Amino acid sequence: MDYHVPVLLKESIDLLDVKPGGVYVDVTYGGGGHSREIINRLGGEGSLYGFDQDEDARANALESSLFHFVPHNFRELKRMLRFEGVKAVDGILADLGVSSHQLDEGERGFSYRFDARLDMRMNRGEGKTAADILNTYDAKELQRVLGEYGEVRNSKTLAEAIVESRYNKRFTIVSDLLKVCTEQTIGDRMRYLSQVFQALRIEANDEMGALKDFLNQTLEVLKPGGSLVVISYHSLEDRLVKHFLKSGRFDGEMERDFYGNINRPFQLTLKKAVEASAEEVRRNGRSRSAKLRAGKLMAKS
């Protein structure tokens, strides 16, 4: 299955600093592109745990005695590693956002290119769908989602139009949403629709909440000196990751101890985010918005 082309593959795995025999986690397994390279660098020993809540990802599980597929959201990182008998790991990789496979599977409802049911759940066994959000959120809640998660410029106007439209017909399929969006589009149509669909996907999957839960758990799961490597695709994700690596907090504020010393949980491996080269962007358009950040967990004093 041509599931997903890994973004910033060499750069991210180099930063993960894979040691033969080590224990690593790919918390966004997807098509296994990053995991395959980690396995190659383990040298025939050690372990790799691949997390993915999407049932489609299981079909891509690597056939290696070193690989263990974990069918859960990465917000369950600590609990599921404990279940597997793992207390600490040498490195964690996260490639955030939606996969190429999910976008190309029309029935999932992630893309405006296919007239499918408005689902957008990465785990189709639980949670609210995009249709649930469109049919039940009031205008104020919809405005928050569209403005905060999609940076939709006319979020208030679009939210009000959605509420008005559902009085006549409930939202069930993609074309129901496209009809309303077409009437409200500002600027480039494809960009506008991408922003709207991104906002609904993030809300349906509680992606910001899951990311915060995951990042907090890395402090407990990583060994001192262990690497955290994260690839993000929009400013909200990148800001959270940047602040967390800098300060261990999501607001970026530095904590100080009783003596005024700054508590820095990570030693930054990169001074600024790495972005895809022009050549990679040409080969894989999804890499255009990618930002890679990394750090190593410092030993507690």
CB of 298 within 8 A of CB of 264?
Answer: yes
CB of 33 within 8 A of CB of 5?
Answer: yes
For residue 1, the model assigns a pLDDT of 42
For residue 178, the model assigns a pLDDT of 96
Cα 295–chain centre separation = 18
Q: What is the rounded distance in angstroms from the CA atom of residue 102 to the CA atom of residue 121?
A: 10
For 241-255, write each residue's pLDDT tens digit. Answer: 999 999 999 987 877
Confidence of residue 125 (pLDDT cuts 50, 70, 90): confident
Q: What is the rounded distance in angstroms from the CA atom of residue 7 to the CA atom of residue 288?
A: 9
Measured at the CA of 300, the angle between CA 299 and CA 301, to 5 degrees, comes to: 110
Confidence of residue 2 (pLDDT cuts 50, 70, 90): very low
**Mean pLDDT of all residues in 4-28:** 94
For residue 200, the model assigns a pLDDT of 97
Question: Torsions phi, psi of 266, nearest 5?
Answer: -120, 145
For 25-77, write each residue's pLDDT tens digit. Answer: 999 998 899 999 999 999 999 999 999 988 878 888 899 999 999 999 999 99
Average the pLDDT over each of 122-126, 235-239, 248-252 and give the range with the smallest value.
122-126
Cα 232–chain centre separation = 7
CA dist 169 → 112, 192, 248 (Å) = 19, 23, 46
Domains and CATH numbers, the chain: 9-100+207-297 (3.40.50.150), 124-204 (1.10.150.170)
Please name which of 143, 250, 163 lies closest in space to residue 203, comparing C-alpha atoms.
143
Q: What is the rounded distance in angstroms from the CA atom of residue 238 to the CA atom of residue 149?
A: 13
Question: Torsions phi, psi of 213, nearest 5?
Answer: -60, -45
Cα 177–chain centre separation = 24
Tokens of 151: 């940076």
Structure pTM? Answer: 0.92
